[in-house]
Amino acid sequence: MSDDVVVVRDEIEAYSDGTVARVRVLAVPESETFPDGIKYAYHYGEAGADDPIIRFDNHHGINELHLDSEVFEIDFPGLQPLYRAWRAALPRGETIRLVTMSRPQIQS
């Protein structure tokens, strides 16, 4: 990772059914690809699976919603509204492990 990239939030929750939820937000240099200076992914899916159950991200500079193998380009309403929409889609079951790799900066 480049020195200009700062990990803002990186958390993984593991569920007893083998699924994982991961939040990863990076502060990156503003560019044509990342005009807001943010690279993010809100991912939920089977551990090790090729396709997520649901993921919001902008890995390639385009804001996308992934539902299984389908990908939809979306408008970017901001990190918090996307986080709330993603979080609402997660199961309410008990997590078996929470790993926080950075200090949370996003309020749910």
Beta bridge partners of 81: none
Question: Has residue 88 been placed in a domain?
Answer: yes
For residue 36, the enclosing domain spans 6-97
Three-point CA angle 58, 62, 64, nearest 5°: 65
Question: Has residue 103 been placed in a domain?
Answer: no
Across the chain, mean pLDDT equals 88
Condensed to tens digits (0 to 9), the pLDDT of residues 65-100 reads 999 999 999 999 999 999 999 999 998 866 676 666
The pLDDT of 5-17, averaged and rounded, is 92
3-state secondary structure of 95: strand
What pLDDT is attached to residue 106? 47
What pLDDT is attached to residue 105? 46
Question: Has residue 55 been placed in a domain?
Answer: yes
> Could you give the number of structural domains in the chain?
1
Task: Name every residue whose Cβ is closer than 8 Å to that of residue 106 and which is 6 or more positions away in sequence.
Answer: 8, 9, 23, 25, 79, 80, 83
Question: Has residue 36 been placed in a domain?
Answer: yes
